[in-house]
Each structure stands twice: as structure tokens, then as C-alpha cells.
Structure 1
Amino acid sequence: MEFLVLPDCPDAAHVVVCSGGMRRLDHPGSGRPWVMGRWADSDLTIETVGDVSVVLLGCASVGAERLRCLIGRVRSVEDLDRLSGSLAGAFHLIGSIRGNTRVQGTVSTSHQVFHTQIDGVTVAADRPHTLARLVGAGIDEDVLALHLLSLRAPGNLAGRPLWRGVESLDVGEYLRVDPDGTGRVVRWWAPPAPEVSRDTGVKMVREALIHAVEARTSQANRVSADLSGGLDSTSLCFLTTQRTRDLLTTHYTPMDATNDDATWAERARTALPHARHVVFKPDESPEWYGDYTLGEGDLEGPYPVLRTRSTVEHLARQVSALGASRHLQGSGGDELFHPGPVWLHSLLRTRPLAALRLAHGARSLWRWTLPNTVRNLADQTTYPHWLNRCATRLTDSTWSPAAGWENVPHMPAWATGDAVSAARRLLVDAATTQPWSRLRIHHELLSMMRLNGHINRRTSQVTSRFGVSYEAPYIDDRVIEAVMAIRLEDRTSLTEYKPVLKQAMRGIVPDEILARRSKGDYSPHLYSGIRRHQQRILGELGPDSHLARLGLIDPDAVRRTLPSMHPDARTLAPADPTLACETWLRTVTALTDRRPA
């Protein structure tokens, strides 16, 4: 799917010409071009009532009659708030209301909106490079330096486009464009307060997940789904088989025999007799880092999970050949149902007695000393101050669980002084922004949801070349809201793994599977891939690399650091974003050189 949105004004007509193979939707009333691009019929829902028209591009769980009823109540752009907040699924919502245009995506950015101005007319698209081509925008090298960070840039910096002059929407925002082509960003969504009990919240989560899966199955002939053996993906498989009897599950057997994911996946397959199951052995699966070549659809920015890109293509080819058009997977489940130390920090501010009772168990779980526990829980650092502190510590590579606003970003050891200075400057400039929620747990959760959404969006762009959309029901807006609404003391446990999800899936997933307490480890795939392809990686990050020529990395430091001992897989984390940046720059350069003026 790829599209461009034009406002309902005469000056917008000259912005772009509808080329061969592109589809076009027009504004109601004026008949001017509105939405142009490429999408499958199953991804399009459109209804018009008078001079109000609404388009949903993606997976939406809403019938035509209900959508017409909801549109019939719309009198202004603001009235779409209620409609948007009542729909399940993941999609772009594009409205045309009496000459005004509204464009929005999802909270997680699995469906994101980018925008720019062309001759005074505000234009939106689902991909930033679509707009960059129209305005002739170049790469912002300072923003590129942010992509070298090992844990992604914090806050809205993480979603900042790499193309100059192109902007993106932040959490809970939509783009409004008036009839004269003037655009402005409006915030319409905020996280719910954590006030409902676990019993009520579990029902909300269950209902939200059922509708999220229904949105993916209602318009698909066959759906495939990961069956890794983990609780998140397994739950989706059982939810899906309730909606369709034409389920295809996929499982990549881990190379480490001590990883019990394979055992639990086999138990789930036994309990899903009506589904078709495909298992890929290690010698049938692509190696990590085996092939990470990018294509023209990857121009948005560095690919976030480059190490497994060949596996994604392999998966898409296989399920497409077997008739699946949508593939479900469980990303986002860990962050929703198994929060880290920041949970206790926020609990202390909402239910102090409950937090103090849990503090001792938390110390053991996260291996905190008493001073470290007191320091983390008592920390009152504001979000702007925290951003400034991150800016000063970009070269500090210390790893430890903490209760800060987000994961602390680090520059790799091979980043040059210029790269560090550029990233630091952008962090300091961003230190005037406010958090997405006053509760750190909600701010951190939204940060992780947006990371998952970014990965899902970019991965779906890869799988779509094979006719398969990559879907993550856990990061749908309604699912996120349902989890956020649960009281913090009821949301998790120090002694039980993902209690809310387990209770929500009771009666859907067999109790034997819900009893699992372990979690698989895939670091052997990482070590094996790095070891086998190390020389090629070192060569690509050498003196002739684009990053070196831009003065962002020191190739000698790469060669000293990367081949050294890495007893913890986290110390290898900085290699991935650096390699992703270099691969993206090579792709952009090659495609730009080949493209006619």
C-alpha cells in the first residue's frame, strides 16, 4: 500500500499527476483528486454521506451500514474523533468534510502520516520519500546521526523523517488541511487513566484482541500467523482459529536445542488440528545477516531489523505461495503485558503502599542494590531534564535496569565526534518537549509501541511485494487503550508471567499452554550470523563506506571493536543500526543515480 492525500483546493491539482497503475479517489462534491496511490481492494473501506466521505486504508473491523451511520453524524473535522475512537483494527483514516481534509494514522505508527508543503499546499502521504521526491528534498545528516543510537532516539525524535522539509505526526495527532491548502497538526488522543480493576480490564483486553484479529480475518481468504511457541503469538493463533478455519501457522525452529519454544509450539499445534502447520528447520531457514539488500520500497530510512530481513522475505514467499494475504505476529505483547522497572516507579506515585510492599521482590528480580532501588524509585527527574541528561551521556555504554522515562540511548564506540555532537544537539533541542503521559510507565509504553509500530510498518513494506501484509494486533489503538486503563497494581506481577494476557485468554488458549513460565532465547542466531558474515560487515563499514565519507563513523574503531569478545548479546546491539544506516545510504545513492531527473 502506498498513497498520497491532496486537500480540496484548486491549487492542489497540479501537485502530482496520476500515473499508470495508480488508483484515485475524489473529494465529494468538488470532484477534485483526493487520494491517489496503490492498495488492494481488501485494504479499502470507503463510505460517503452527502458531502462527507471517509476512507479507511488498512484492516478495519466495521461494516458498511455502521460506517454510514457514524458518518451521518459527522458535521465537522472534529466529529471524526468519536468515529476514529470507536473503530477496531489498524488503518489510516482519511476524511473529506465540506472542503476540509483530515488524515491520521495509528498511535503506534504502524500506519503513519507524513506531510510537507508544495507551493503553499499541504500534502500528506504514508511514506516520507514519496513527498521527498515531489519537493526534491535531500537527506538531513544530523538526523542520520540519531539512527546510529543503539536503542533508538527517545520521544518524537525517533519518528523524525530523514528527509529535509518532511514532517511526521506525533502520538495522538492528526493533520487537518483547510480548503485553502493550509495545514495544521491537531492533538486528539491521550492515554486513558489507569483506573479499572483487573477483572474489568481483562474483559476489555479480551474484547479488543478479538476485534483486532477479526479486522485481519474479515477480508482475507487465508491468514497465516507466527506460532513461535511464545504466549503472545500462540494466543493470536487460537484467537484466529475462532474467526476462520483456514489458518496457516509458521514456526522457525531455533538452532539452540535448549530453547523450548519448539516444544511449546508443538503442543499448540496439537491443540489446533484444523489449521495447516508449516515448520522450517534451521537448515531450511535464511541465516541472520545472510542477505539484507534493500529495495526501492525501503527508502524511508534504515531498516530497523536488518539482521532478519532475509527471514522476512523467506516467510512472505512461503505463506504467499500457500495462499495467505495477511500474516499475524505477536510483537508488542512483551511491552504491554510484562513491563519493566518503570512500572514500580509509576506505581509508587499512584499506590505508594502497594509499591513499597513490592519493592523487596523487585530488588531481587532486577538485581538492584538498596541504594540503587532508592535512587530509581525516588527519581523525580522531569522529561526535559532527562533528555538533557541523555545528551550528556551518549558515549556512556553502561547497561543496567533503570526506571527512567525510556531506554537510555547510546552512541556506538565507533561514532565520530561529529556524529555524537549532531545527536547531542538534536537531543538538547528536543528537551523543550513534554512527555506523552505524566506516568513514566505510559510514556515508556507508548515509546515501545511506536518502535514496534515502526518495525511492523517497515516489515510490511517488504512483505507487501509478495502480496502479504504484516500484521501486529497487539499494537492496535484499542488494545493499547485497554491495557493502559488497568490499574497499575493489577497490570502485572512479580511472581506470574503476563497475568493479564493469561486471564484474557482463559477458555481460548488451553490451560496447559497458559501455564508456561519460560521464554526462548535467540542469541545463538545472532552470534552465528555475526561470526559467519563478520568480514563482509567489516568491509561494508570500512574506509570507503558512505558513513565514513560523511564523517559519522571511524572505520578503524569498527574493526577494533566488532570482532572483540561479546559475552552479552547486548554489546552487539550497536552494530545493527550502524549497518542499517550504511545499507540504506547505499540504496538511496544507487536508486537516485539510476532515476531520471
Structure 2
Amino acid sequence: MALSEKRFGRGNDWFVIFEDNAYSASTAEVVLTWANFILRYASGRPFLVARMLHTPVNYHHTAAQSAVVLGHTDITSSQHLESIFTGTQIALDTLPGDTFRIIREENLLKVRGTVSGTRKVFVSTAKPKNQFISSNADIAAFLAQSDLNHGSLAARLFFPSVPYALSHASVWNNVSVLPEGHELILNLDTGRSIYKQFWHVPQPELSLDDGAEKFAVALTEAIKIRSIKPQCGADVSGGLDSTPIAYIAANNTRSPLVTFSSGSSDELHDDLSWIDRSFRHFPEVRKIRVTPSEIPSPFEDFSKCPIAWDEPFIGAAQWKRISYTAGLLRSEDVKTHLSGHGGDEVLLSPTSFIHDLIRQKPLLGYRLGRQYKSLYHWERSSLRRLITERISYKSTLIKELRNIKKPSPGVRDAANPWNIQSFRAAPWMSDFAVESASKFCNETIEGIQEPAQSRTQSAGIESILTSGNAARSISTIMGNYGIDFNTPFLDEKVISSALSIRPEDKSNPFVFKPLIKKAMSTLVPHEILSRPTKADGTADVHRGQSVNSEFILDYMETSILGSMGLIEFEKFRYYFSNMSLGQVPPVAFWATLSVENWLRSHN
């Protein structure tokens, strides 16, 4: 892997933690050039080397100890952090926001990312057993001189997506991912490290009335610690995710909030009318508003994508559209941008909660099950499976993996009790790719522990983790424009408060997002919360794929995936050219194109 400005000089922020020895100090030399924030051990060797262009940094550092918090929280200064750090560990653990936390005391180092996956920690191991701890997978891999894990990479070609438990692993050999909700504890004397869980999925015991109040406090705090920053922006889609966030932010900023709004080319969308209704209630804001025709289509200029994500991102097709948005925000001097991303996953429970509910409240469970069956047109047999299937989490993964070459299940199937979506091998994957991916998945499943929480809570947190990882990739694009992309819904306290509420209270077949409506009822005008619909952007992606189809085939004809023996181009061409037959869903192509895009950016 060649050292390049794409990796270290790119717009998104990164850090690396080195051990206090000669080998690590020598390795650190290759990244020091790109860093703008460096802390050192008493020996003078680098401890923390970082490039922080827009992420808030607070730190307390002496020769013997360090406390570093990277990200948005309510710390007002490094002196404030020092008083917290020298007080109690509990005070540091209960900080709100979305942060990396790095603590060094004597010979112990503690590092954690976020519960949602918006900030991840990667650990790579190099000879002679030196560990490099980084916020970016490819940087950790580069420092350890790691090569690609073909099995993990090939598994990213499965569609519609691989369950989070399998996609969580790095695509690099000798690079591990710190599980969300865990803390890495490294003994700097011995080099030994352990993972310690610091966050547990809460039990869903609160009613909507009791839980909504706590949720409102957590979400409002998450918004305010960001919107108080100068030059703040926010999305206003007219929906129940972004619009309440923007309204609260607009009433908390020091200068007028910069809002971004757009519609969809889908005639069935009603975003524009709800955007107009919402703005009637806002204080003074600076509006950026664009029409669907002005926004780049998905897959537009796909081959020119300059973004070097550290992991494959299935939303890569949207890079030009997100970059266009970021450019407009930057022209208005926006530095911190708030999004409603993660709202669906936090505000709603996956419908698989019916499985647990029937065992707790049979009458209510059966009634809601029938209502969801009617609403989503589920087949009766799939609802029966949702209710009766009792196999474990690992067994469910193994069962799905055995079906990898079978036709895709019907779109009218209910989820299984773990809400693990059936995944399949794309028909253009080579036998080598399918075998490598299957072997990798089987080995990963062997090491998975059964979830300690219920099926309902397990499904809820996995959907949140998937959303958090997508937000992390979007922030990479925004970072190239000097914008700090923020998702208040994905803060730890917000997630915890939402997961504490009974799923049957959060999700209702006939009431749209009751949690946000109840929680914000005294804070946000009623009309903003009265929308009963949600726009679906997939039509734009389908249209963009069609418009750019000729280019996509040219792009894939010389693919790196083909040269690696992971796909067969002629099969890809056949299925892509006959997409209208519905043999393969569009998301299968998106998965393959995202991996190809990632390989080209790292070649």
C-alpha cells in the first residue's frame, strides 16, 4: 500500500496511538508530517499523533498521565477536562456527546470509541508484537504493513448486506476492530491488552410517557452541545428526524442557523410541502434550498470519486450528491452540520419485536403481528416463522449462510426473530469469492458470543450500529470540505434512553414515530411533528443507476475485483443489462460497485 495524501492528508480527521519504544517511534515518523496535534511520552517518543482539522479537541497531558476527549461534548475547556479527570472516573464516563476518549495513567492506556460506531477504534499488530491503535482501519493496516483479507472483502459483495456481526470485521489481516460499547485497556509495560465492556444494552422497561421525557432531555442536550458552536448548519427535510433537530438548533445558535433542504425527483414525495410548513415556525435562518434537478444523480462521476474511505461504503454512489451539499454548506461558512441520520433506527423498533412480545403479552403480540402482516403484506408462513422460530443467534447466521446461493426470499417475508436479513451471493461472484467469503463468515461465527440481551434489543442495537457506520462514512465526505458532520440521534445517552422504552410503545402500525412526537411535544411546534409520512430516496438511486448504466459497465469491465478473481464481468454485464427482469435487486449492484470503488481508491 503506497503512502499517499488520500490516506493521511485527506479532509477527515484521524489519530494513531503508539507504544513507548524505539520500533513504534520509528514507525511514527511516517505520519508525523501530516499531523497537527502531537502528545509525547516522558521519553520524548510520540504517544498520540493526530490530524484534527474540525473535530473538537480537549486534553489534559503531563509526563505521567493524559486525558484526551475528541468530539462534541459539554467540556468547555482543557481546564474543565482536567478538573473532571482529576476528580472521578464516573464523571468522565458520563460525559454526553459523541467522542473518542483516551486515558493514560501510569502504565495503563484506555481507549474507547462510541456506542453507535460513528467513531471506531482499530488495532493492528506488527512485528515484534507492536500495536498501533487508530481511528482509521487503513492507517492501522498501513502501519502494520497488513494485506487484504480476501474473505472479509468478498463477504462485502453479499446483498442486500451482511449482518453487522459479520461485516464488523476489518477487511485487513492483522487489524481488529474494538467492539462498540467496549474499552481497550493496554498495559504499556507488557504490551498485553484486553477489551472491557463499559456499556450494556438497557432493558426496555419504561412506558412511552415515562421514557419520552428522558429521551427529550438526552436529545436536546445532544443538539445543544453542537449547535452552540459558531457557524452551524442543519438539514430540514420536513420529516420527523431532521426537522425537530434543526428547530431546536435554530433556537440555540449564536448566529442564524444555515439550513439545507432539497426534494426528490419522485413525484410521490411530499417533502417540499412539509418543508414549507415547518419553516413557518422557525426563527430567522439562512436557507439553502435546491431543486431535484440541481442535485447530482447517484453514480454521477462515479469514476472520479476522490474519497478514500477507510472501509467499503455501500453509499459510495451518493458521493457526488453529498459533496454537492457539502460545497453549498461550506460556501455559507458552515463548520458543524447536524443531520437526522439515525432517527429511524433509534426512534423505531424492528418489527421482529413481535417474537418477544407474544411471550410477554400474548394478546397484544398477536394483535400487532396481524396488523403488521396486513400493513406490509407479509406471507402467513413468514409471520408464523417470526412467532415460532426459537433458534439461537449463531444458528440463525449459520442457517442464512447455508442459503447463500439460493434465490432471494420474497419481499413480503417478515423478518426472523433476530431481525437478521437474508443475504445472498451476487450471481457474478466467482466460486473463489463465494468460498472465501463463506469460510470467513463461518470462522467469524465460531468466535461470536450469543447476545446477552433479548432478540428485540439485539436487533435494535444492530440496526443502530449499521446506521452509525454509514454516518461515519458520510462524515468522511463532509470532512473533505472542512465540515464536521453530526448525528445527535446516535449519541450514547440518546440511544440508551430510546432502548429503555418498551418496543410496542415505540413502534405502532398506525402511529408514525410516536416517541419523537411525545418527547418533543412541548419543545417543537405541533405542525412540525404532525407529518404522517416519510420520503423514500431509493427511486432516485434507481434512476441514477439507469442514467449512468453505460458508464457503469465501462467502469466494471476493467475492475480490480475481476483482476482479483472475485467477480466474473460477463455475468455482471448480463444481470446489469437485464435488470428490468428483476432477477437481482439493485442493491446487489450497489454492494459490488462500492467495493470496487474502495479498491480503486486504495490501489
TM-score (norm 1): 0.92
Q: Partner of 2:590 in structure 1?
A: 576
Matches within 5 A, 1:28-177: 32-40=45-53, 43-47=56-60, 51-64=64-77, 67-74=81-88, 79=89, 82-83=90-91, 85-118=93-126, 119-177=128-186
Separation in structure 2 between the aligned mates of residue 418 and residue 174 of structure 1, nearest angstrom: 36
Structure 1 stretch displaced more, 63-72 or 573-582: 63-72
TM-aligned CA deviation for residue 355 of structure 1: 1.5
Say which SS state the counterpart of residue 290 (structure 1) adopts. Answer: coil
Structure 1 stretch displaced more, 208-217 or 2-11: 2-11
Aligned AA (2:357): L
8 Å CA contact 1:387, 1:430 repeated in 2: no
Q: Partner of 2:537 in structure 1?
A: 522
**What 5-or-longer segments of structure 2 have no aligned partner?**
1-12
TM-aligned CA deviation for residue 570 of structure 1: 8.5
Q: Partner of 1:484 in structure 2?
A: 499
Q: Partner of 2:578 in structure 1?
A: 564
TM-aligned CA deviation for residue 512 of structure 1: 1.7
Aligned partner of 1:217 among 219, 224, 227: 227
TM-score (norm 2): 0.91
TM-aligned CA deviation for residue 369 of structure 1: 4.2
Q: Partner of 2:19 in structure 1?
A: 7
Separation in structure 1 between the aligned mates of residue 584 and residue 533 of structure 2, nearest angstrom: 20
8 Å CA contact 2:118, 2:468 repeated in 1: yes
8 Å CA contact 1:287, 1:311 repeated in 2: yes
The change in CA–CA distance for 1:370 and 1:534 in structure 2 (over 3 A counts) is: closer
Aligned AA (1:318): L
8 Å CA contact 2:124, 2:133 repeated in 1: yes
Q: Partner of 2:565 in structure 1?
A: 551
TM-aligned CA deviation for residue 50 of structure 1: 9.1
Structure 1 stretch displaced more, 41-50 or 121-130: 41-50
8 Å CA contact 1:547, 1:553 repeated in 2: yes
8 Å CA contact 2:393, 2:451 repeated in 1: no
Q: Partner of 2:438 in structure 1?
A: 424
Structure 1 stretch displaced more, 153-162 or 381-390: 153-162
8 Å CA contact 2:32, 2:49 repeated in 1: no
Separation in structure 1 between the aligned mates of residue 328 and residue 458 of structure 2, nearest angstrom: 38
Q: How many residues align?
A: 581
Separation in structure 2 between the aligned mates of residue 6 and residue 117 of structure 1, nearest angstrom: 11
TM-aligned CA deviation for residue 253 of structure 1: 2.0
Identity percentage of aligned residues: 25
Separation in structure 2 between the aligned mates of residue 271 and residue 99 of structure 1, nearest angstrom: 55
Per-residue CA distance 1:72-91 (angstroms, 9 max, x = gap): 235xxxx4xx3454111111
Aligned AA (1:58): G
Q: Partner of 1:230 in structure 2?
A: 239
Separation in structure 1 between the aligned mates of residue 573 and residue 417 of structure 2, nearest angstrom: 33
Aligned partner of 2:365 among 355, 363, 374: 355
TM-aligned CA deviation for residue 26 of structure 1: 2.9
The change in CA–CA distance for 1:486 and 1:84 in structure 2 (over 3 A counts) is: farther
Q: Partner of 2:424 in structure 1?
A: 410
TM-aligned CA deviation for residue 500 of structure 1: 0.7
8 Å CA contact 1:108, 1:449 repeated in 2: yes
Structure 1 stretch displaced more, 459-468 or 344-353: 344-353
Separation in structure 2 between the aligned mates of residue 203 and residue 10 of structure 1, nearest angstrom: 53
Structure 1 stretch displaced more, 407-416 or 40-49: 40-49
**What 5-or-longer segments of structure 1 have no aligned partner?**
590-597
Q: Partner of 1:498 in structure 2?
A: 513
Aligned AA (2:565): G
The change in CA–CA distance for 1:128 and 1:295 in structure 2 (over 3 A counts) is: farther
Aligned AA (1:563): S
Per-residue CA distance 1:449-492 (angstroms, 9 max, x = gap): 22211111122112112110111111111111111111233222
8 Å CA contact 1:7, 1:100 repeated in 2: no
8 Å CA contact 2:100, 2:119 repeated in 1: yes
Per-residue CA distance 1:38-86 (angstroms, 9 max, x = gap): 1037610113589442111111223346533431235xxxx4xx34541
Per-residue CA distance 1:212-233 (angstroms, 9 max, x = gap): 1123223x31111111121101
Cα RMSD between the aligned structures?
2.3
Say which SS state the counterpart of residue 139 (structure 1) adopts. Answer: coil
Separation in structure 2 between the aligned mates of residue 521 and residue 568 of structure 1, nearest angstrom: 20
Say which SS state the counterpart of residue 431 (structure 1) adopts. Answer: helix
Aligned AA (1:465): N
